[in-house]
Structure 1
Amino acid sequence: MLYEKPNTMRPLRTDVLTMTPWFAPIVWNGTYNLDILNAQFHQREVRIGLTVFAIKKYTGFVQTFIESAEKFFMVGHKVTYYIFTDQASDIPAFTLRDGRKLAILEVPSYQRWQDVSMRRMEMIGDQSRLRFIHEVDYLVCVDVDMRFSDEVGVEILSDVFGTLHPGFYSASREQFTYERRAQSTAYIPKDEGDFYYAGGYFGGTVEEVYRLTNFCHNAMVADIEKQIEAIWHDESYLNKYFLYQKPTKILSPEYLWDNDFEVPGFLKRRRFVAVPKNHNAIRSRRALQGVSEAEGKFHR
């Protein structure tokens, strides 16, 4: 394999932070050579699982999600799509690339979207222990109401990774919407915090994802017993976990974006973006469920 020699005196990017204080890389376009990484991961014959939850009307997003993943996600690698759904009959059939397959995991339906959001930690954890550990090496856990719009490859894989929230990548820690009630297990004081991580994109080895989801689920259970619901549900507990169990890699906002946001100059690629929705229908459904209309896809 021929490629340009790395130059120790010339950083690949100087306009953005590419390394955390605990030596975890932050992945941006131009900071890695995908050919080298692909060769390394092919040698190991790595298997990747991609999980999404398609509950109730969100089954309507599955086709766009899978079709875009087939075009851009982990091309050339072994992938299993795990779709958690309460409506298996609504999941269409797909023709997948060689080495890729789809598994449908039937789960209960929940009245409120907050319950779906919080219970997914429990369900990913359970399946990690019972099934995923035998079938894949890494898990990537994302939201289904998204589409891949550019390459997402093995550069994202690490022991445990999180993703910078597109609404807070330049915010101060005081502005982060962490859980601020001290009685909650998700509580983070205003003078603590590294980054604000999005709940809709995390992953790592199956073992590490199990540890993460198990922590979040147990923390939620402890709060439920105190009749507390964290401000941003599973995302709040994810941020608490990453504060004290630092991720070994962080994905930049390239990997999670909403095209309704103004695009900053340093954002060279938008790899995974929110799918435009019928917001009036979503708001109506949320209003029926007692959810504030202010709660958007990516809150700021």
Structure 2
Amino acid sequence: MIHLINVKSLTAVLVILGVLFLYSFLSYSRTSHQQNITAENRLSADVVAVGNEFHLVAPEHLQYEQPSIVQGSRIDVVAVTPWLAPIVWEGTFNPVLLDSIYKPKNITIIATVFAVGKYIMFLKRFLETAEQHFFVGFKVHIYVFTDRPNEVPPVTMASGRRLIVRLVPTAKRWQEISARRMELIQMVIEEQLPNNRNYIFCLDVDSQFHGRWGSESLGGLVAVTHPGYYRDPRSKFPYERRPSSRAYLAPREGDFYYCGGAFGGLLQEVHHLAKTCRHNFEADAQEGIEAAWQEESHLNRYMWINKPSKVLSPEYLWQDFKPRNPEVHIVRFSGVVKNYADIRPNA
């Protein structure tokens, strides 16, 4: 009798201990599972406990109004090219959503600017406004090419952002500055090519940022439509019209007129662009030809043959002296007002 009681008591104790162990294990697993959700998993959903069950809840950046394929947020502008590349305008993208997609990729954004001669006067404002608006929250490396390294202004930069100064020769003509840009851009990219996930943007230093320029601009090959010609027929575009030049575009050729002061994309894509434009520029020079707008003319020829995968609206390179047209809801980057006779050598 005593033996039977002991067996029953032992069985009850074991059952109780088993229940307690199972409860503790489940509680620990649930806590551990929630703590060990990686950043990548958190981008897709957060795990929350409701009673003894787990539920997936979309994080805040994925909670937005349902998109539509029959009704766009902008009906006053075209948001896609005939070759199906996006045209980026304010109101055509969700900045929070896009940043949440690109930030976990651990990419670096490279920017190049040329502050040669008196153009050094524009560098401080460029750098200060870039800190406020250009890929905020991303890793950014800004390469400054200048013949006056001692005059590069000190600018406080956020964590993950760097300024790299490169010495270049003084130019005798302002066209020489333009002519060497593709060569120097090519050289910078070749230093960075092992990490081909990174992006580069080549920007004019005599400009300043007024608003966000961020992940919405990322693409394989990115061009910016010129603010002075985006409403005009291509017959008015200042393409190189001499057939003897390698930048030549015939009257019925070309899509848009793109800025030489702002373009970019993936390193390998911009490397091919810079290498090709440099080769054509130098080949023209050997024959005594200089295209109408130097590297900008060669850029437009290249972009016509090699269509950009993303086109940025004139928001991304406006001109400070121009009043905004109705379709331009925001100016993100803009050329400053200046007197070319004062800053260009032998203008």
Same fold (TM over 0.5): yes
- Deviations 1:12-61, CA, capped at 9 Å, x for gaps: 21111110011100000000001111011012111101110000111111
Find 2:255's aligned residue among 191, 194, 212: 194
Query: Residue in 2 aligned with 1:297?
Result: none
| Cα distance change of structure 1 residues 165 and 64 upon mapping to structure 2, 3 Å threshold | same
Give the share of equivalent positions with the same residue, in percent: 41
Find 2:120's aligned residue among 43, 59, 83: 59
Instruction: Kindly indicate whether residue 289 of structure 2 is the aligned counterpart of residue 228 of structure 1.
Output: yes
Query: Residue in 2 aligned with 1:168?
Result: 229
Instruction: Kindly indicate whether residue 140 of structure 2 is the aligned counterpart of residue 86 of structure 1.
Output: no
- Deviations 1:112-161, CA, capped at 9 Å, x for gaps: 11011011101100121124655970001100001001111110010010
Query: Residue in 2 aligned with 1:177?
Result: 238
Q: Structure 1: any 5+ residue segments left out of the alignment?
A: 292-300
- Where 1:84 maps in the other structure, the secondary structure is strand
Instruction: Kindly indicate whether residue 166 of structure 2 is the aligned counterpart of residue 105 of structure 1.
Output: yes
CA–CA separation in structure 2 for the residues paired with 1:18 and 1:109: 42
For the Cα contact (< 8 Å) 1:162–1:198, is it kept in 2? Answer: yes
- Deviations 1:219-249, CA, capped at 9 Å, x for gaps: 0011011100000000000000000000000
CA–CA separation in structure 1 for the residues paired with 2:268 and 2:128: 28
Deviation of the 1:285 alpha carbon: 5.4
For the Cα contact (< 8 Å) 2:136–2:214, is it kept in 1? Answer: yes
Query: Residue in 1 aligned with 2:8?
Result: none
Query: Residue in 1 aligned with 2:59?
Result: none
Instruction: Kindly indicate whether residue 153 of structure 2 is the aligned counterpart of residue 95 of structure 1.
Output: no
For the Cα contact (< 8 Å) 2:321–2:337, is it kept in 1? Answer: no
| Cα distance change of structure 1 residues 179 and 41 upon mapping to structure 2, 3 Å threshold | same
Matched AA of 2:275? N
Query: Residue in 2 aligned with 1:240?
Result: 301
RMSD: 1.4
Find 2:97's aligned residue among 36, 44, 54: 36
CA–CA separation in structure 2 for the residues paired with 1:269 and 1:60: 26
Deviation of the 1:284 alpha carbon: 4.8
Deviation of the 1:261 alpha carbon: 1.9
- Deviations 1:55-98, CA, capped at 9 Å, x for gaps: 01111111100000000111111111111111111102221111
Which 10-residue stretch deviates more, 220-229 or 9-18? 9-18
- Deviations 1:184-226, CA, capped at 9 Å, x for gaps: 0000000111000010000001111100000110000110111
For the Cα contact (< 8 Å) 2:134–2:212, is it kept in 1? Answer: yes
For the Cα contact (< 8 Å) 1:133–1:206, is it kept in 2? Answer: no
Return the structure number with greater helix share.
Answer: 2
For the Cα contact (< 8 Å) 2:116–2:145, is it kept in 1? Answer: yes
Query: Residue in 2 aligned with 1:283?
Result: 341
Query: Residue in 1 aligned with 2:209?
Result: 148
Query: Residue in 2 aligned with 1:118?
Result: 179
Find 1:13's aligned residue among 74, 79, 83: 74
For the Cα contact (< 8 Å) 1:149–1:272, is it kept in 2? Answer: yes
Query: Residue in 2 aligned with 1:273?
Result: 334
Query: Residue in 2 aligned with 1:250?
Result: 311
CA–CA separation in structure 1 for the residues paired with 2:168 and 2:85: 35
Matched AA of 2:184? M
Query: Residue in 2 aligned with 1:295?
Result: none
CA–CA separation in structure 1 for the residues paired with 2:124 and 2:343: 22
Deviation of the 1:259 alpha carbon: 2.6
CA–CA separation in structure 2 for the residues paired with 1:285 and 1:32: 38
Which 10-residue stretch deviates more, 256-265 or 54-63? 256-265
- Where 1:198 maps in the other structure, the secondary structure is strand
Which 10-residue stretch deviates more, 189-198 or 6-15? 6-15
- Where 1:80 maps in the other structure, the secondary structure is strand
For the Cα contact (< 8 Å) 2:210–2:334, is it kept in 1? Answer: yes
For the Cα contact (< 8 Å) 1:48–1:136, is it kept in 2? Answer: no
Q: How many correspondences in the alignment?
A: 286
Q: Which has the higher contact order (CA 8 A, sep 6+)?
A: 1
Q: Structure 2: any 5+ residue segments left out of the alignment?
A: 1-61
- Where 1:38 maps in the other structure, the secondary structure is helix
- Deviant stretches of 4+, over 4 Å: 132-136
For the Cα contact (< 8 Å) 2:196–2:267, is it kept in 1? Answer: no
Question: Which protein shows a greater Rg?
Answer: 2
